Chains A and B, each alone.
Chain A
Amino acid sequence: MRVVIAEDLFLLREGLIRLLEAYGFEVAAATDNAEDFLAAIRKGGCDVAVVDVRLPPTFTDEGLRAALTARAEIPGLPILVVSQYVEQLYARELLADGAGAVGYLLKDRVLDGAQFTDAVTRVARGGTAMDPEVIARLLARSSAAEGPVGRLSPRELEVLELMAEGRSNAAIAGRLFVTERAVAKHTASIFAKLDLQPSDDDNRRVRAVLAYLGR
């Protein structure tokens, strides 16, 4: 799997390259600014991109904007955005096009190599990988939950939460100590309550997550 990296901190960039290569990824390009990153993306042949939110020259949200630009140019291009902090606002902007294949993680998650590369793979395959902290902050709001998401049972919310992190049914089943069949029942119920028509299952998962984040 070919990866393009945009990360301005030398140590972290090298660390990312080493980590990804150790897990069998091929690093197509490692850039330290938004322009080089976009150029590398436009060359094509990239399966997934890992982008830091803060990039030179202004060190604000250049990386995020570059990611959004890249997605606008190549719809559905899998992108994993990493940052020193997470903002729901940014998570929504990334998810706004509804195409999935988006991840948004704290840089801390790099520390756990297996989990991080797992997230990269999930994003590359069209899933989502939202940082647990984004989800945790959403949960803090759930007392005021309204609309379709408010109709979900606590268990279904748990399932949806893990779905938003990007877990598969098998992984969710492992986490909640239930059978995969039970999780499948929950997800079907979630899709029904959120009024998501049965089409392609992955796409429905993304849309469920969008409904969850969008309240």
Chain B
Amino acid sequence: MKINGIRGGLLALVRALAFVGLLLAGTALLAVAVASVSVAGLGLGHLIQNLLRAGLSGGRQDLTDLLGAALGAACCWLVLPAALLATRRLTMRTRRLSARWCGVPVRQAYAPAPPGTRHPWWPAGSVHGYRRRMSWLLGDAATWRDLLWLAVNTVAGSVLLLVPLLLFGSGIVAFIIPALGSLAWFYGLQHLVPPPAFPGNTPLVLFIIGLAMVVAGAWIAPPVVRGYGRLARWVLAPSTQAELELRVAHLARTRSETLDTGAAELRRIERDLHDGAQARLVAMGLTLDAAGRLIETDPAAARTLLYEARDASARALVELRDLVRGIHPPVLADRGLADAVRAIALDSPLRVRVTGTLPGRPPAPVESAGYFAVSELLANVAKHSGAVEAEVDLRHESDALRIIVRDNGAGGADPSRGTGLRGIERRLAAFDGILVVTSPVGGPTEAILEVPCALS
């Protein structure tokens, strides 16, 4: 056996062990979910039974039955949603590990949380909220897949994973250690080692059997781990239809949001032009007209008016320039995203370091979305974080534009509260882009935005 083979085998064994850990956690979750449902069911059943009986005989309610029903309801209210979400976490981890360790990527397709769900892990605050949350979780085919996976994993997964682990483990514990233990006898340490599994054999035979088991365990571990990944994919991968349904829902939502944003933007531009440059031009026309009338009779006053008109034209230019900057920043058009971000960094009151480069230019709409996202993020940093330094990193990796904005501020930014972050998310969503903000209290805050795109 080559060194690589041995290492691969041992690595696969460690991974199998980790999967067993996940499996146990999953089984426990399944037990919790089943238990809370059955406690609720039993409690309710008893209550109804007694109610019926009491109604017939005119007797009184048993206190324990009421308590049972209350406990069941509490379980369903408090525990069940959290258990389902924990299951989701667990299977997401399994999917990731399956891609990384087993070479079997497993896709996922969860319906997004209903709007306004802020802390899905906490018990819902109202019956309505609970119903909405449960219909989100239980109405999602992916949830049922997750539960099915917990069951399948508990039965089939454990058998699969335990074969190499048991071979390897028992080879060591039951054969090799006792074989070596008989050597330990010489040193008076034999009471420390377990007795051999098959007494009567010579240490050499024990050792050979043990070694064979260990080697066999390590040898079958890699294919077993791969097989486990396939099992996970078989159960966990969403059907094409489920994926397409989610995709359609996502596209419909982002499309309408994009249209709304576009329309609002046009209204803003129209208003700015109407109240700004247009009004100034009208005023300028009037001033010039007055100057024209005065030029013969009162040249001095006419000159004052002419200078006034000149100043008004300068102000109109300033307004137009600001407007253009808001629509499509000239430096972005001239130089592309990396230099435009450098320009933002120079204008920011913070010390901003820009790292990374882009080997080409993303499509213009993506560039624009990225530019305004960085601009908004840095403005947020300057306004709220109390940071004095920030860092922007740009790169294009695995077919996606990735921009990281990091600061040394106080942290505690909540994406669900600021409209700015929500706006960035909406803007990026139109390109299937995402924004992830991690901002622990005490800082630092890190915002990562990623937009799939090709460079030209």
A→B interface (CB under 8 Å): 53-54, 60-61, 84-85, 87-90, 92, 106-108, 111-112, 137, 140-141, 143-144, 146
Q: From known contacts A111-B310, A111-B314, infer whether A85 and B347 are also in contact, taking CB-CB under 8 Å.
A: no
In Å, the complex CA distance between A204 and B314 comes to 33
10 pairs, CB–CB < 8 Å, chain A vs chain B: A85-B324, A85-B325, A87-B331, A88-B347, A92-B346, A108-B317, A111-B310, A111-B313, A112-B310, A137-B346
**A139-B347 Cα distance, complex, nearest whole Å:** 10
Take A61-B335, A108-B318 as given contacts and tell me if A89 and B313 are in contact as well, using a CB distance cutoff of 8 Å: no
Q: B330 at the A/B interface (Cβ < 8 Å)?
A: yes
**Residue on A with the closest CB to B333?**
A60
Residues of A within 8 A of B310 (CB): 111-112
Given A106-B317, A140-B347, A144-B350, list of 16 further CB < 8 A pairs? A53-B334, A60-B333, A84-B321, A84-B330, A88-B347, A89-B346, A108-B314, A108-B317, A111-B310, A111-B313, A137-B346, A140-B349, A141-B348, A141-B349, A143-B349, A144-B351
User: What per-residue 1/0 map shows which CB atoms of B145-189 lie under 8 Å from chain A?
Assistant: 000000000000000000000000000000000000000000000
Q: How far is the CA of A112 from the CA of B350 in the complex (A)?
A: 34
B contact residues around A84 at 8 Å (CB):
321, 324, 330
Instruction: Output the nearest chain A residue to B347 by Cβ-Cβ distance.
Output: A137
B342 contacts the other chain (CB 8 A)? yes
Q: Any chain A CB within 8 A of the CB of B264?
A: no
Majority-rule SS of B interface residues: helix
| Chain A residues, CB < 8 A from B351 | 144, 146
Once bound together, how far apart are the Cα atoms of A84 and B318, in whole Å? 10
CA A143 – CA B314 in complex, angstroms?
A: 29
Q: Which residue of B lies closest to A61 (CB)?
A: B334
Interface residues of B in 316-358 (CB under 8 A from A): 317-318, 321, 324-325, 330-331, 333-335, 339, 342-343, 346-351
Give the distance to chain A from B51, nearest Cβ to Cβ, in Å. 72
In the complex, how many angstroms separate the beta carbon of B310 from the nearest chain A beta carbon?
5
Indicate the member of B310, B324, B339, B346 with the most A CB atoms within 10 Å.
B346
Chain B neighbourhood of A143, CB < 8 A: 349
Most buried by B among A60, A85, A88, A107: A85
- Assess the B321–A85 pair: CB atoms within 8 A: yes
A88 adjacent to B343 (CB under 8 Å) = yes
Q: How far is the CA of A26 from the CA of B382 in the complex (A)?
A: 49
| B244 close to chain A: CB less than 8 A | no
Partner of B346, one of A85, A88, A107, A108: A88
Beyond A85-B324, A89-B343, whether A144 also contacts B331 by CB under 8 A is no
Tell me, in angstroms, the Cα distance from A85 to B321 when the chains sit together. 7
> Which residues 183-219 in B have Cβ within 8 Å of A in the complex?
none
In the A-B complex, the 6 residue pairs with the smallest Cβ-Cβ separation, listed nearest first, are A60-B334, A61-B334, A88-B346, A89-B343, A108-B317, A87-B331
Whether B330 contacts A144 by the Cβ 8 Å rule is no
Contact between chains at A85 and B330 (CB < 8 Å)? yes
Taken together as a complex, chains A and B put the C-alpha atoms of A197 and B11 apart, in Å, by 65
| Chain A neighbourhood of B318, CB < 8 A | 108
CB proximity of A62 to chain B, nearest CB, Å: 9
Contacts of A92 in B (CB 8 A): 346
Known contacts A61-B334, A85-B325, A111-B313; A144 and B388 CB within 8 A of each other: yes
A53–B333 Cα distance when bound, in Å, is 12
CB pair B339–A89 under 8 Å, yes or no, is yes
Residues in chain A near residue B330, CB distance under 8 A? 84-85, 87
Q: Which residues of A contact B335 (CB under 8 A)?
A: 60-61, 89
Q: In the complex, A112→B310 CA distance in Å?
A: 9
Contacts of B333 in A (CB 8 A): 60
Distance from A128 Cβ to chain B, minimum over Cβ atoms (Å)? 18
Nearest B residue (CB) for A215:
B351
Shortest beta-carbon distance from A60 to chain B in Å: 4
**Which residues of the other chain, B, contact A140 by a CB distance below 8 angstroms?**
347, 349
> Contacts of A60 on B, CB cut-off 8 Å?
333-335
Nearest CB in chain B: distance from A52 CB, A: 12
A190 CA / B439 CA spacing, docked (Å): 42
How many Å from the CB of A143 to the closest CB on chain B? 6
Give, as a whole number of angstroms, the nearest-CB distance from B441 to chain A. 24
Closest Cβ–Cβ distance, residue B212 to chain A (whole Å):
69
Residues of B within 8 A of A87 (CB): 330-331, 343, 346
A106 to B324, CA, bound (A): 15
Quick one: closest B residue to A53, CB to CB? B334
Closest to B331 in A: A87
